[in-house]
Amino acid sequence: MDEKASGFSLEMPKVGVIRGVKAKDVELVGGKVVNLRICARPYSNIYSVTQLRAIKTVSEQYGSGKVHLSPRHNFEIPEIRNKRIDDTLKLLYVAGLFPGGAGTSVRNIFTCPDWCSQSVLPTQEIGKMISTNFGDRDMPNKFTISFAGCVNGCSRPHNADVGIIAVGKVKVAKGNCADQCNKCVEVCPRQAIEKNGGKVLLKEKNCNFCGKCVKACPQNILTFASTGFKVMIGGKEGASVAFGSVIADFVKDFELLEIIENVLQKYQEKAKFRPASQKKKERLTEVIERLGLESFLAD
Ligand code: SF4
Ligand code: SF4
Ligand code: SF4
């Protein structure tokens, strides 16, 4: 469509200035083609059919007909003809897709899909809340935040710079149940529930707060007494793998945001260049290894 003839005008997003996203999201290959990494803004890691159509069109018309879905749910469209990058960005922009998710910034927040039956809290809504507050922020090095809807951790929170898991404390209505279905006992992975006649006994020290028994109970006799977030920091994937350390448990939304903000600020203040480099700064896990967790969190 001719924009001028139709009266349609669009302020073109320029690579390098879109919501703090840098030119690093566009990789120039041999001066002729670019590889483009994109994400949805406002945040979602569930893509609509309209967005998928836009990606298909771009890939077919300006690229090589290939796309890749990255581990953090960014789409990568390789080999877009350099001359068509403006057309590409315009088409994606209209569909709510922007270059992003690379380099030394808070990468795409990685969450579970909304519809998983095991989810203790609404994953996409919380992913959006985290992304709105911290997404794309410039950092000393790559920074990953992953949120899982339950302790199964499918979005790999244990190996993220900040890993968040939704957890739920279980309660038994009136402390007993006449039903003999025994589903709660069967699904519990930690032998934390016993059925003794009409009595349901919870052994909290065995419980990992996964919520499976609540989901399985057909009579709503088991419910959540409270839900919240477990927070881990300093996890990492890649050439050297690290598991995050738990720094908070059963915190609520606002506390979670405060904790993440504090960790990001401390990381920005305390990260140094790696010993052999004046270009690359430490990842969070390296800062924590150097200082110790307590000193890292101290003012
Ligand atoms: S971590 Fe839990 S909520 Fe998320 S996808 Fe896995 S099973 Fe579902
Ligand atoms: S929350 Fe999970 S571990 Fe705890 S009692 Fe229920 S099923 Fe068992
Ligand atoms: S799953 Fe619910 S209804 Fe079934 S035995 Fe357990 S508490 Fe009772």
Strand (E) or helix (H) holding 81: strand 75-81
Residue written as tokens 């796309």?
67
State the distance from the centre of ligand 3 to the C-alpha of 200, rounded, in angstroms: 8
pLDDT of residue 102: 80
Going by alpha carbons, the residue nearest to atom 7 of ligand 2 is: 188
Cα(74)–Cα(97) distance, rounded to whole angstroms? 10
State the distance from the centre of ligand 3 to the C-alpha of 176, rounded, in angstroms: 9
Q: Is the beta carbon of 209 within 6 A of some atom in ligand 2?
A: yes
Strand (E) or helix (H) holding 193: strand 193-196
pLDDT of residue 6: 44
Q: In order of start, what are the domains of the chain with their CATH numbers?
A: 3-99 (3.30.70), 110-297 (3.30.413.10)
Residue 81: strand pairing partners: 33
Q: Is the beta carbon of 118 within 6 A of some atom in ligand 1?
A: yes
Residues whose CB is less than 8 angstroms from the CB of residue 104 and which lie 6 or more positions away in sequence, other chains included: 24, 138, 139, 140, 141, 142, 143, 281
Q: What ligand has the least distance to the C-alpha of 184?
A: 3
Q: Is the beta carbon of 192 within 6 A of some atom in ligand 2?
A: yes
Q: Please say whether the beta carbons of 73 and 102 come within 8 A.
A: no
Residues whose CB is less than 8 angstroms from the CB of residue 281 and which lie 6 or more positions away in sequence, other chains included: 104, 140, 141, 271, 272, 273, 274
Residue written as tokens 């504090």?
262
Cα(212)–Cα(186) distance, rounded to whole angstroms? 10
Q: What ligand has the least distance to the C-alpha of 146?
A: 1
Structure token digits, residue 14: 């320029």
pLDDT of residue 33: 73
pLDDT of residue 186: 96
User: What is the Cα 184 distance to its own chain's centre?
Assistant: 30
Residue in 169, 166, 151 with CA at minimum distance from that of residue 229 = 166
Q: How far apart are the first and last CA of the chain?
A: 56
Q: Is the beta carbon of 271 within 6 A of some atom in ligand 2?
A: no
Q: Which of 171, 177, 193 to mutate to test the pocket of ligand 3 (most atoms within 8 A of CB)?
A: 177
| Cα separations in angstroms, 153 against 120, 157, 278 | 12, 6, 36
Residue range 56-87, pLDDT digits in tens:
999 999 999 999 998 999 998 988 887 888 88
Structure token digits, residue 212: 């499976």
Q: What ligand has the least distance to the C-alpha of 222?
A: 3
Residues of the chain under the 50 pLDDT cut: 1-23
Provide the 3-class DSSP secondary structure of residue 123: helix
Q: Please say whether the beta carbons of 86 and 34 come within 8 A.
A: no
Cβ-in-10-Å burial (0-12, 13-18, 19+) of 208 comes to middle
pLDDT of residue 136: 86
